[in-house]
Amino acid sequence: MAGKKVLIVYAHQEPRSFNATLKNVAVEELSRQGCTVTVSDLYAMGFEPRATRSDITGALSNPESFSYGVEMHEAFKRRALTRDIAAEQKKVQEADLVIFQFPLYWFSVPAIMKGWMDRVLCQGFAFDVPGFYDSGLLKRKLALLSLTTGGVASMYTKAGDNGDFRYFLWPLQHGTLHFCGFKVLAPQISFAPEYSSKEERKAMVASWAQRLKSLWQEEPIQCSPPWYFGQ
């Protein structure tokens, strides 16, 4: 939708990968709509995933015993976060929609993207106490997980070996995005591109491109328990 701002947080090492294609298609389609699209290409940026004392510039509020959560909250308030974190927070702050594009690693995001969540979504910026879940500080924003899997779709069903795909999305969709207040759009899961034919991969890309055309009309999914698991 013209005028909307989109941040794509992208985690793949290879510019010729299927994940890169999905990211590129999103940039093209959203730009065509008149959106402003920003990409955080985490591997290309060499993004730091480790949550350490170096994330805080200047003195600590309690140098006797380092608590990452406490110090990040204090540092956010006095604008003392390290530059790469402040830059990502600015991108999130300006965005109407954040898309996460990644290959599933161990039923979750790759460590480099987990590090983005651990470091960028700090107290004071993304949530507060009180100020989480439906009152999370990013509550006027949308988020969407677009991921590829190794396994085929039938493995990610209630009766499959991997269980319903909603199970592994719980920590991300509810515990992270919903916690920060994001309205979460349905995930875009491209199953097993490695084991698919060229035509099947093309169809997955086309389906994502097609969905993006009417993305702004979508209703968010229900993230709260117990409805989340369809109960």
Q: Which of 8, 7, 9 is nearest to 112 (CA)?
A: 9
CB of 37 to its own copies, least distance (A): 24
CB of 138 to its own copies, least distance (A): 14
Residue 59: CB atoms within 10 A of its CB come to: 10
Provide the binding-site residues for its own copies, judged by CB under 8 A. Answer: 13-14, 16-17, 43, 46-47, 49-53, 64-69, 105-112, 114-115, 117-119, 121, 133, 150, 158-164, 167-168, 170-172, 174-176, 179, 194, 225-226, 228
Is 11 in contact with 110 (CB distance < 8 Å)? yes
3-state class (DSSP) for residue 19: helix
Q: What phi and psi, each to the nearest 5 degrees, are found at residue 36?
A: -95, 120
CB of 155 to its own copies, least distance (A): 11
CB of 81 to its own copies, least distance (A): 16
Is 17 in contact with 102 (CB distance < 8 Å)? no
CB of 75 to its own copies, least distance (A): 14
Closer CB to its own copies, 97 or 136, in the complex: 136
Closer CB to its own copies, 134 or 218, in the complex: 134
Q: Which of 105, 108, 62, 56 is nearest to 84 (CA)?
A: 56
CB of 166 to its own copies, least distance (A): 10
Placement of tokens 């480790």 in the chain:
50
Handedness of CA 203, 211, 6, 167 (dihedral sign): negative
- CA gap 121, 180 in Å, rounded: 8
Euclidean distance between the first and the last CA atom of the chain, given in angstroms as a whole number: 34
Closer CB to its own copies, 7 or 212, in the complex: 7
Closer CB to its own copies, 29 or 71, in the complex: 71
In sequence order, the 6+-apart residues with CB closer than 8 A to the CB of 84 are 45, 47, 48
